[in-house]
Amino acid sequence: MRVPNAFALLCAIPAVHGWGELGHRTVAYLAEKYLSSAASDLVDNLLANNRGWDISDGALWADAVKHRRGYNHTGKWHYIDAADDPPRYCNVNYRRDCKPGPGCIVSAISNFTARVNDASLAQKQQKEALMFLLHFIGDIHQPLHTELLDRGGNDIHVNFSNRVENLHAVWDTHIAHKMRGLKAKEGDDAVLKEAAAVWAEELYAANEATVAVAECRDVSTAEKCALEWAEEGNAWICDNVLKPGVEWLKDRRNDLAGEYFDDAVPVVDELVAKAGLRLGAWLNALAAGRECAGFVVQEGERIEI
């Protein structure tokens, strides 16, 4: 175990301060608005490559690689399978729900928080760690990424806008697209980037008084913070997502684009706003820790992934 010196202790004090493509890009753009200049440099430097990515492209990478050779074990890191009993009873239990071997979104956030600033890792590894965090801090705010039942709602087929969709996809994508009046498909990058930038701007303006101070922002207790976020998302499973009961949700006569959608809108707005704020605060704390650790990041270094 390393004994922290006085400087490291001082530095350990935090500085003041599952979604689809649209959701992830919005979380990233919103986080960007809260970044300190050091955090902004950290993101720019680690993401710098020849593809001209912005922060929201970095936030999508984890979904793009999860089926790629060498990355198929990372799929488990996008969620935590809370084995609770919704809508009667919701809760997340780390020991019950996060299997030590494969891990889960809570252990992954903890792991990659440590890896971003691990000077013993190659810069490419730090970059991957950053991109995983950009994604997972979004996903942990999607309630169905904190629920085991029916594979996080993937096996619950529902009627949404007169189409048969699975409930997980409804929450990942369809509610957000309807909220934002979008007809775009996943992969319509230019349209989705623009829509995400506008949504992020609105959420930022709505929370004008909020600075990038999130309740839990101590990167040295990442597992505790991530577990709190997971518990908060999971509570929405009972209070909103599965509240009408699975039988009602599966009944094809119930179009979820009606009242169910109306009830979901404020929840999605709140969770996306919180994810963006928390991600911003997290990156600020990481950047402060990185400065303390004496990292020298080369300007705009090109790292291929």
Ligand X SMILES: *[C@@H]1O[C@H](CO)[C@@H](O)[C@H](O)[C@H]1NC(C)=O
Q: For ligand X, which residue of 124, 185, 224, 252 counts as binding (CB under 6 A)?
A: 252
Q: Which residues pair with 158 in a beta bridge?
A: 165
Distance of CA 241 to the CA centre of its chain: 18
Can residue 117 be called a binding residue for ligand X (CB under 6 A)?
Answer: no
Can residue 209 be called a binding residue for ligand X (CB under 6 A)?
Answer: no
**Which x/- pattern, by CB under 6 A, does the window 139-168 give for ligand X?**
--------------------x--x-x----
Q: For ligand X, which residue of 72, 198, 265, 293 counts as binding (CB under 6 A)?
A: 72
In the complex, the smallest distance separating the C-beta of residue 225 from ligand X, rounded to whole angstroms, is 16
User: Which helix H or strand E contains 150, and what residues bound it?
Assistant: helix 149-153
CB 24 within 8 A of CB 192: no
- Given the complex with ligand X, which of 135 and 274 has the nearer CB atom? 135
Distance of CA 75 to the CA centre of its chain: 14
- Given the complex with ligand X, which of 245 and 300 has the nearer CB atom? 245
Tokens matching residue 105: 């979104």
Number of Cβ within 10 Å of residue 250's Cβ equals 15
DSSP string, 115-147: HHT-TTS-HHHHHHHHHHHHHHHHHTTSGGGG-
- HSE at residue 162, side-chain half, CA atoms within 13 A, is 0
In the complex, the smallest distance separating the C-beta of residue 9 from ligand X, rounded to whole angstroms, is 25
List of residues 6+ apart from 55 with CB closer than 8 A: 28, 29, 31, 32, 43, 47, 134
Can residue 255 be called a binding residue for ligand X (CB under 6 A)?
Answer: yes
In the complex, the smallest distance separating the C-beta of residue 191 from ligand X, rounded to whole angstroms, is 26
Q: For ligand X, which residue of 49, 94, 103, 194 counts as binding (CB under 6 A)?
A: 103
- Given the complex with ligand X, which of 29 and 112 has the nearer CB atom? 112
Residues of this chain that bind ligand X (CB under 6 A): 72-73, 103, 107-108, 111, 159, 162, 164, 252-253, 255
